[in-house]
């Protein structure tokens, strides 16, 4: 099945794209609640200037649909009703009089990441059978709504992965990835091309939390270190989401305002430790790719400042990967290691002058087109996550 689809849109009454926004509504269920609370997303968005509102279980958001209360229904097949029958209610939900939500983020829960079949074209947007065609039809049914409300920034989140033993089905894992890839790339690109608008983005929750799709056993499952006793991510998983979402959110608002694009990828399974007494900083994680061939001149940027540069000539082969060594600003050795097996690992050891902000924006630029970004939410001991 070819996941590429075309948009049939009636484009009338388009507004000027939004340039700034404060009222932010998140439509979610339990994973989203944990993300807001244990993951600190609510506090971090508030610190960024957003008034965070929620629609969740029991939320009787005004509108006219067969789903009541609409807050109890957040499967992919329910988004048609949310945005075609309840959007005015969503816009005003929990806002002060005269104001409206200018950023609308929405997420389905982990069972929606299990897609059982390809299904039949063109799909049914309100059919609860988890098929590729139905999931795609559900999002395609929203494109007119997004375009006709271009003063609103819409952020769709992919459904989280399931844990083995709690809904995960290895044979269906590739199909879930196919849908998420389509949503994040083809769907958004086609929307932008068809409308000329920039008010739609997709945050890949699944990709942040899941094991590598390249594994031969249990690919695209909820990563064990981020799992609770079921498919709900543990607090570490929720903080990993926030660490990846914050730079994504800045990039999204930057693109919305000016069209400037950023190619930052997720540094997944990220860990970090910072010692305030010495400035020692260690960061590790993994990625889908570290690029073809050896890296170029690599830079590690912490809190907006270039903390360390590794010259292209300094790279050495380390097994199937690479290692670079340089002198850190404190005179000690800094090192950047790249593992190039099935799972591509990234490990940095160096120095960062304090005091560091909270959170700590970090960018690792390998100098070959591969750039990774995350905001470290360090605890009182300087540890993440």
91-105 pLDDT, tens digit each: 999 999 999 999 999
What is residue 264's predicted lDDT score, i.e. its pLDDT? 77
Average the pLDDT over 230-252 and give the result.
Answer: 97
What is residue 263's predicted lDDT score, i.e. its pLDDT? 66
Nearest Cα to Cα of residue 286 among 363, 202, 342: 342
For the cut 90, the answer to whether the pLDDT of residue 298 exceeds it is yes
ω into 122 cis (within 30 of 0) = yes
DSSP line for 323-378:
EEEEE-TTSSEEEEEEEESSSEEEEEEEE--SPPPSSEEEEEE-SSS-EEEEEE--
Nearest Cα to Cα of residue 158 among 121, 201, 103, 214: 201
Percent of the chain, pLDDT > 90? 90
Average the pLDDT over 125-152 and give the result.
Answer: 98
Which domains does the chain carry?
23-262 (3.40.50.1110), 268-384 (2.60.40)
Q: How confident is the model at residue 142 (pLDDT cuts 50, 70, 90)?
A: very high
What is residue 250's predicted lDDT score, i.e. its pLDDT? 94
- For helices 235-258 and 30-37, the axis angle rounded to 10 degrees is 90
DSSP line for 220-250:
TSBPGGGB-SSSSB-HHHHHHHHHHHHHHHH
Gap between the Cα atoms of 172 and 153, Å rounded = 31
DSSP letter at 183?
I
Q: Residue 334 has which token pair?
A: 């800094």
Average pLDDT, the chain: 93
Strands 153-157 and 200-203: parallel
Q: How confident is the model at residue 150 (pLDDT cuts 50, 70, 90)?
A: very high
What is residue 3's predicted lDDT score, i.e. its pLDDT? 36
Average the pLDDT over 192-220 and give the result.
Answer: 97
Average the pLDDT over 318-343 and give the result.
Answer: 95
Q: In this predicted model, what pLDDT tens digit does every residue of 248-283 receive, in sequence order?
A: 999 999 999 888 877 679 999 999 999 999 999 999
CB 41 within 8 A of CB 242: yes
Q: Residue 24 has which token pair?
A: 């932010």
Gap between the Cα atoms of 237 and 249, Å rounded = 18
DSSP letter at 170?
G
Neighbours of 117 (CB within 10 A): 14
CB 168 within 8 A of CB 218: yes
Lowest-pLDDT range of 136-150, 222-236, 260-274, 327-341: 260-274
Q: Residue 14 has which token pair?
A: 């388009």
Average the pLDDT over 196-223 and give the result.
Answer: 97
Instruction: State phi, psi for 30 to the nearest 5 degrees.
Output: -65, -40
Percent of the chain, pLDDT > 70? 94
For residue 309, list its beta bridge partners.
299
Residue 157 belongs to what H/E stretch? strand 153-157
CB 367 within 8 A of CB 297: yes
For the cut 80, the answer to whether the pLDDT of residue 15 exceeds it is no
Q: How confident is the model at residue 294 (pLDDT cuts 50, 70, 90)?
A: confident
Q: Residue 68 has which token pair?
A: 């009541």
Q: How confident is the model at residue 22 (pLDDT cuts 50, 70, 90)?
A: confident
Average the pLDDT over 337-363 and give the result.
Answer: 96
How far does CA 88 lie from the centroid of its chain?
26
DSSP letter at 267?
-
Total number of residues shown for the chain: 385
Q: How confident is the model at residue 246 (pLDDT cuts 50, 70, 90)?
A: very high
What is residue 292's predicted lDDT score, i.e. its pLDDT? 79
- For helices 173-182 and 132-140, the axis angle rounded to 10 degrees is 20
Instruction: State phi, psi for 138 to the nearest 5 degrees.
Output: -60, -45
Radius of gyration of the chain measured on its C-alpha atoms: 21
Q: How confident is the model at residue 14 (pLDDT cuts 50, 70, 90)?
A: very low
The pTM for the full model equals: 0.94
Q: In 3-state terms, what secondary structure has residue 16?
A: coil
Q: What sections of the chain are H helices per DSSP?
A: 30-37, 41-47, 79-85, 87-92, 132-140, 143-148, 173-182, 188-195, 205-209, 235-258
Gap between the Cα atoms of 18 and 21, Å rounded = 7
What is residue 1's predicted lDDT score, i.e. its pLDDT? 41
Average the pLDDT over 23-37 and give the result.
Answer: 98
93: left (phi over 0), alpha (psi -120 to 50) or beta: beta
Q: In this predicted model, what pLDDT tens digit does every residue of 108-136 receive, in sequence order?
A: 999 999 999 999 999 999 999 999 999 99
């Amino acid at each position: 099945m070819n996941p590429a689809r075309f948009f049939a849109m009636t484009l009338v009454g388009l507004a000027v794209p939004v340039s700034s926004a404060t009222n932010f509504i998140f439509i979610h269920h339990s994973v989203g609640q944990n993300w807001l609370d244990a993951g600190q997303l609510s506090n971090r968005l508030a610190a960024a200037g957003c008034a965070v509102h929620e629609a969740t279980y029991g939320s009787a958001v005004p509108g006219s649909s067969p789903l009541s209360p609409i807050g109890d229904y957040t499967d992919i097949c329910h988004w048609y009703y949310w945005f075609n029958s309840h959007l005015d209610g969503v816009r005003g939900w929990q806002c002060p009089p005269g104001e409206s939500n200018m950023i609308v983020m929405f997420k389905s829960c982990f069972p929606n990441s299990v897609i059982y079949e390809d299904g039949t074209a063109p799909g049914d947007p309100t059919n609860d059978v988890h098929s590729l065609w139905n999931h795609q039809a559900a999002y395609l049914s929203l494109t007119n709504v997004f375009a006709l409300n271009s003063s609103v920034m819409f952020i769709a989140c992919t459904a989280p992965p399931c844990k083995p033993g709690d809904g995960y089905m290895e044979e269906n894992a590739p199909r879930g990835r196919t849908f998420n890839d389509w949503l994040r790339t083809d769907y958004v690109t086609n929307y932008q091309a068809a409308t000329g608008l920039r008010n739609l983005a997709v945050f890949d929750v699944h990709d942040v939390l899941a094991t590598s799709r390249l594994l031969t056993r249990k690919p695209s499952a909820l990563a064990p270190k981020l799992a609770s006793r079921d498919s709900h991510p543990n607090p570490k998983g929720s903080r990993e989401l926030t660490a990846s979402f914050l730079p994504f959110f800045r990039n999204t608002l930057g693109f919305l305002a000016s069209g400037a694009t950023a190619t930052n990828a997720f540094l997944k399974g990220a860990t970090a430790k910072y010692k305030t007494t010495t400035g020692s900083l260690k960061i590790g994680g993994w990625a889908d790719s570290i690029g073809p061939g050896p890296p170029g001149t690599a830079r590690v940027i912490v809190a907006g400042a270039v903390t360390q540069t590794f010259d292209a000539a300094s790279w050495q082969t380390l097994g199937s990967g690479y290692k670079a060594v340089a002198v850190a600003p404190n005179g000690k050795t800094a090192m950047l290691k790249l593992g190039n097996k099935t799972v591509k690992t990234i490990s940095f050891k160096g120095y960062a002058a304090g005091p560091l902000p909270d959170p700590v924006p970090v960018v690792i630029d390998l100098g070959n087109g591969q750039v990774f970004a995350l905001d470290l939410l360090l605890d009182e001991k300087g540890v993440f996550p």
